[in-house]
Amino acid sequence: MFELVLLAPVDEVETVSDALDALDALSVSVEDADAHTPAEQALFGEPGMPPPKAGWERSRVVALFATEALARDAGKLLAAQDFFAGCRVVAIQTVPEQDWVRLTQSQFTPVEITPEFWIVPTWHEPPAQATKIIRLDPGLAFGTGTHPTTRMCLRWLAGGTPFASGAIDAAVASAGVGPRPLGRVLDYGCGSGILAIGAARFGAVDIDAVDIDDAAVQATHANADANQVQLRAGLPDTASGTYQTVLANILATPLRVLAPLLCAHVAPGGSLVLAGILERQADELKAAYAPFCALAVHDCEDGWILMTARL
């Protein structure tokens, strides 16, 4: 395999990518050419909001070809096009032979949620200090414990200290931390099932995990079995009645739409835990849930927040 590496301004990224597809590239990826430098840019997007840019101001476009000749021909054909004026070919390079399974596994190491609670891939031994673990490998469904939103939800389940205490609302800060009774639990938008499994690790025994994606439901069943956890997983209509704890790690726009439904599932005195929210979206979430409850920022990490309410 050979890579054709290009630099392109943001306005030409989509055109260049489409041209590479037409030239029989096996894959095309776009990266920030300034990644890991002070000029690195973060691009966020979610359903219901304007899409992020097609690329970065300086985008690195990498196309994979089966042969070196195909990669060189593609570079020459692109260079002859008018739209390529602001772009340039950086390199044509061999993709080294790799043990891709071992390489992928090396990128997923145990993830600390609290000093005693860890997410551990099946090919790793648990850390010596881990008294509670979830065994989870990367798969098709979202949620391996590496994303801040997942970690914050798991930290809440464990009663751990918020990551950035200075960012949380005063009402939450005064309430303190520590283990909390979870009761009957609903994980809405379960992905891999990691939050439902985490709830089981901290005492929940009646757990529903639901998602609109069949692959997520299947992943949740498989991960629950691997962790010897009993739960019900299914499509959203699996959720019924009220729950002491309702968890939803999705994104801000669907969370706004789901406000009446999610709050209706929380039992009196129960807890609502929402994630997938950027710091700048806190006020709009508070407004959307105001008719039902008073949301507060409970935790903050890498620009994401966890919001909670007691109904």
In tens, the pLDDT along 10-33 reads: 899 999 999 999 999 999 999 998
Give the number of C-alpha atoms closer than 13 A to the C-alpha of residue 171, restricted to the C-beta side. Answer: 8
Tell me the CA distances in angstroms from 36 to 40, 42, 57, 302, one per residue in order.
Answer: 6, 11, 15, 15
Under the banding of pLDDT at 50, 70 and 90, the label for residue 126 is very high
Q: Quick one: residue 107, left, alpha or beta (phi over 0 = left, psi -120 to 50 = alpha)?
A: alpha
Q: Which helix (H) or strand (E) holds 222?
A: helix 214-226
Strands in the chain per DSSP E: 2-9, 27-32, 58-65, 88-94, 111-114, 117-120, 132-135, 185-188, 207-210, 232-234, 243-249, 266-278, 296-301, 304-310
In 3D, which of 274, 271, 273, 86 has the Cα closest to residue 182? 271
- pLDDT recorded at residue 137: 82
pLDDT at residue 172 greater than cutoff 80: no
What pLDDT, in 10s, does the model give residues 190-230?
A: 999 999 999 999 999 899 999 999 999 999 999 999 999 99
pLDDT band at 177 (very low <50, low <70, confident <90, very high): low
At residue 214, what is the residue type?
A: D
Please enumerate in sequence order all residues whose Cβ is within 8 A of that of 223, keeping only pairs 6 or more positions apart, or say none.
Answer: 135, 136, 192, 193, 194, 197
Run of H or E residues at 95: none
For 42-53, what is the mean pLDDT?
A: 63
CB 4 within 8 A of CB 79: no
Residue 203 CA from chain centroid, whole number: 25
Per-residue model confidence (pLDDT) at position 174: 45
Which of 4-13, 19-28, 105-114, 183-192 shows the lowest per-residue confidence on average (mean pLDDT)? 105-114
Please tell me the predicted confidence (pLDDT) of residue 34.
86
Lowest mean pLDDT among 13-17, 101-105, 228-232, 257-261: 101-105
Mean pLDDT value across residues 254-266: 97
Count CB atoms within 10 A of the CB of residue 23. 18
- The pLDDT value given to residue 66: 93
Phi, psi of 183 (to 5 degrees): 60, -145
Could you report the per-residue pLDDT of 77-95, keeping only the tens digit for each? 999 999 999 999 999 999 8
CA distance 249 to 18: 34
**Average pLDDT across the chain, whole number:** 89
In a 10 Å sphere around its CB, with 0-12 CB exposed, 13-18 middle and 19+ buried, how is residue 44 labelled?
Answer: exposed
What strands, in cross-sheet order, belong to the sheet with 243-249? 232-234, 207-210, 185-188, 243-249, 266-278, 304-310, 296-301
Q: Which amino acid is at 100?
A: W
What's the pTM value of the predicted model, to 2 decimals? 0.69
Read off the tokens for 159.
């009663």
Residue range 297-305: mean pLDDT, rounded: 94
Confirm if 189 and 235 have CB atoms less than 8 A apart: no
The structure tokens listed for 51 are 């899409």
**pLDDT of amino acid 56:** 83
The arithmetic mean of pLDDT across residues 132-136, rounded, is 94
**Range scoring the smallest mean pLDDT among 48-52, 56-60, 130-134, 291-295:** 48-52
Structure tokens at 43: 């691009």
The C-alpha atoms of residue 5 and residue 2 are separated, in whole angstroms, by 10
